Amino acid sequence: MSTPAVLYHFAYHPASRTARLALGEAKVDYSEEAVRPWEDDCPLFEMNPSGMPPVLTTTEKNRPLTLCELDAILGWLEDRSKGDFLLPADPAERAEARRLATWFSRRFSDEVDAVLLHERMEKPLLRLGPPDARMLREGREALKSHLTVLEPLAAGREWLAGRRLSQADLIAAGHLSVLDYFGEIAWASWPSLKLWYSKLKSRPCFRPLLGDRFPGVHPAPWYADLDF
């Protein structure tokens, strides 16, 4: 066992959300410590050279262990499981899960999150002024192009990478759930993705995320609705 564990995270950071989903799916007993990584006194700077969440502190065979960022946390969960946890045993599905995970961590983060979440979330937090209409249009067009690729994957498979839940599903949900909070996804246009997302929202690991509330911004009306 690896307890006690503490997850240092920011609730609207996609990788932090994925870590919470994965820890919940693995039924790891942990407590949460909310952090604000843009502040000079953020405790993450003493634990992670990059200063970025999520960071999980725990013990392994009576030794302290600090897992910096999502890849380390997911790898630790995979290593401690008695079988395949969030990486399928099938080599093709395993490769597809890794492909999708890399896609979200690179292209989706750069083309969608860096624009839409900057305008909708970072600007209010850092008091950088109102959202830029041109940047919002560009971010929404980028989001649409990514959803266009994801929709047929959700339509043709039980889960994004294949027949079973994988890292790809939780990573995708970490990103899309933040955008969903701000009402940026028109789910009616993406029926297969909507069905996939509703399955994830119904899992126990997702419940804590549905209680998140961003200061001064109410979530989209359907955000916490399992039958949206």
pLDDT digits (tens, 9 = 90+) for 144-168: 999 999 999 999 999 999 999 999 9
Rg (CA), the chain: 17
Domain boundaries, the chain: 5-80, 91-211
Q: Who contacts 187 (Cβ-Cβ below 8 Å, separation ≥6)? A: 193, 194, 197, 222, 228
pLDDT confidence tier of residue 82, bands split at 50, 70 and 90? confident
Burial of 67-96, coded b for 16+ CB within 10 Å and e otherwise, reads: bbbbebbbebbeeeeeeebbbbeeeebbeb
At 133, list the tokens. 């209409």
Report which residue type is found at 20: R
pLDDT of residue 2: 45
Q: Which amino acid belongs to residue 7?
A: L
Cβ contact 84:74 at 8 Å: no
Partner residues linked to 63 by β-bridges: 60
Rounded Cα distance between 27 and 167, Å, is 15
Task: In whole angstroms, give the CA distance from residue 181 to residue 135.
Answer: 19
Range with lowest mean pLDDT among 16-20, 80-84, 117-121, 133-137: 80-84
Read off the tokens for 182. 């701000």
Mean pLDDT of 192-210: 97
The Cα 199–Cα 29 span in angstroms is 23
pLDDT over 60 at 22, yes or no: yes
| Mean pLDDT of all residues belonging to the chain | 95
Q: State the fold for domain 5-80.
A: Glutaredoxin (3.40.30)
- Assign 131 to helix, strand or coil: coil
Q: How far apart are CA 13 and CA 113, in angstroms?
A: 10
Using DSSP's 3-state secondary structure scheme, residue 226 falls into coil
pLDDT for residue 1: 46
91-211 classified as CATH 2.60.120.10: no
pLDDT in tens, 169-182: 999 999 999 999 99
pTM for this predicted structure: 0.95
Token readout for 80 is 């401690």
**What are 182-199's pLDDT values in tens digits?**
999 999 999 999 999 999
Nearest CA to 115 among 149, 75, 146? 146
Taking a C-beta distance cutoff of 8 angstroms, is the pair 70, 23 a contact? no
Distance CA 211, CA 208 (A): 5
Please state, in angstroms and as integers, the Cα–Cα distance from residue 188 to each residue in 95, 128, 181, 206, 228, following that order: 30, 32, 16, 21, 10
